[in-house]
């Protein structure tokens, strides 16, 4: 009986959880970060496989991949040391590091391994590249592909999901493992995204005839399954997802913040 192994491009996922991005837009707080529950994500993906009629016992190995800059002591002082490094850039870099550390910590709490979490030391030229949006993170994609392919080849009766927005990795997977559509599936965001880059990705996914269809995390049904919180609902009027500190009483229908305030 097969298990489900999961490989996450953490950099992409973090972006999708950001304010105004795919997952946040499925909630009634699109201007806030989407708080993803990795344990719930695992359960949702396991259900997704079983819903296709496959037998899958439980979760196998899980990896999250991203890179997190190692910031040196005295990093705060860099604007005084390097001519074109600003305090704002320093703050931005620190915030990005913090968000990635938080993402990895919550993944680890749900059993994810961090072998493919990289800690490159920050350099002043990298700060400049980041400011000009010329910095390219390369190791993450290739690590996710390598881990996925190793798992798929060695555990052929298992299922393997790659959490990514980059369908360009699939041809590489196919080269190493031609029958990958049999037990590999993609977890991504929906084609309805306004960003043309995403749209293209989603369209190219359609070119592959997966036995297990893609899991679209930002469908409202999916977003409800993976949002952090003990009491997560969908608004009965608009379908948006929200989390409540307490359960909605049985006598009331769940309504999002906007539709609650109208009553």
Give contact residues for Zn ion (rule: CB under 5 A): 235, 237-238, 256, 259
Alpha-carbon distance of 230 to 214, in angstroms, equals 26
Q: Give 116 or 223: the residue with its C-beta nearer to Zn ion.
A: 223
Q: Give 202 or 235: the residue with its C-beta nearer to Zn ion.
A: 235
Residue 169's Cβ-side half-sphere holds a number of Cα atoms within 13 Å equal to 27
Cβ 86 vs Cβ 37: under 8 Å: no
Alpha-carbon distance of 148 to 222, in angstroms, equals 23
Q: Give 214 or 254: the residue with its C-beta nearer to Zn ion.
A: 254
The burial of 53, by beta-carbon neighbours within 10 Å (0-12 exposed, 13-18 middle, 19 or more buried), is given as exposed
Q: Taking the complex as a whole, how short is the minimal distance between the CB of residue 254 and Zn ion, in angstroms?
A: 9
- Please give the DSSP secondary-structure letter assigned to residue 36: B
Task: Quote helix, strand, coil % in the chain, to nearest 5.
Answer: 45, 20, 40
Alpha-carbon distance of 67 to 49, in angstroms, equals 29
Q: Give 92 or 259: the residue with its C-beta nearer to Zn ion.
A: 259
| Crossing angle (nearest 10°) for helices 10-17 and 87-109 | 110
Q: Give 21 or 256: the residue with its C-beta nearer to Zn ion.
A: 256
Q: Give 121 or 249: the residue with its C-beta nearer to Zn ion.
A: 249
Q: Taking the complex as a whole, how short is the minimal distance between the CB of residue 232 and Zn ion, in angstroms?
A: 14
- Phi–psi pair at 159, nearest 5 degrees: -110, 150
In the sheet that holds 2-9, the strands lie side by side as 117-118, 56-67, 2-9, 159-163, 184-188, 215-216
Q: Give 211 or 237: the residue with its C-beta nearer to Zn ion.
A: 237
Q: Taking the complex as a whole, how short is the minimal distance between the CB of residue 211 and Zn ion, in angstroms?
A: 36
DSSP strand pairing (231-234 vs 159-163): unpaired
Q: Taking the complex as a whole, how short is the minimal distance between the CB of residue 249 and Zn ion, in angstroms?
A: 18
Q: Of all residues in this chain, which one has the CB nearest to Zn ion in the complex?
A: 235
Q: Taking the complex as a whole, how short is the minimal distance between the CB of residue 240 and Zn ion, in angstroms?
A: 5
Q: Taking the complex as a whole, how short is the minimal distance between the CB of residue 58 and Zn ion, in angstroms?
A: 35
Cβ 248 vs Cβ 231: under 8 Å: yes
Q: Taking the complex as a whole, how short is the minimal distance between the CB of residue 24 and Zn ion, in angstroms?
A: 15
């Amino acid at each position: 009986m097969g298990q489900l192994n999961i490989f996450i491009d953490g950099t992409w996922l973090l972006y999708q959880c950001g304010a105004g991005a795919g997952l946040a837009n499925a909630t009634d707080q699109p201007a806030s970060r989407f708080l993803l529950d990795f344990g719930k994500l695992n359960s949702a993906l396991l259900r997704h496989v079983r819903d296709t009629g496959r037998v899958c016992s439980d979760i196998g190995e899980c990896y999250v991949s991203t890179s997190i800059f190692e910031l040196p002591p005295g990093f705060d002082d860099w604007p005084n040391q390097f001519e074109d490094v600003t305090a704002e850039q320093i703050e931005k870099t620190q915030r990005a590091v913090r968000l990635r550390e938080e993402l990895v910590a919550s993944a680890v709490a749900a059993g994810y391994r961090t072998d493919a979490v990289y800690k490159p030391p920050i350099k002043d030229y990298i700060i400049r590249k980041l400011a000009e949006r010329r910095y390219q993170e390369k190791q993450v994609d290739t690590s996710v592909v390598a881990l996925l392919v190793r798992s798929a080849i060695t555990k052929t009766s298992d299922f393997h999901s790659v959490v990514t927005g980059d369908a360009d990795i699939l041809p590489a997977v196919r080269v190493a493992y031609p029958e990958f559509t049999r037990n590999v599936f993609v977890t991504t965001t929906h084609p309805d995204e306004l960003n043309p880059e995403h749209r293209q990705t989603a369209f190219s996914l359609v070119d592959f005839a997966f036995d297990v269809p893609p899991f679209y995390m930002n469908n409202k049904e999916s977003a409800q399954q993976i949002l952090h919180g003990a009491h997560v609902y969908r608004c009965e009027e608009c379908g948006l997802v929200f989390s409540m500190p307490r359960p909605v009483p049985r006598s009331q229908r769940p309504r999002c913040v906007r539709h609650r305030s109208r009553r």
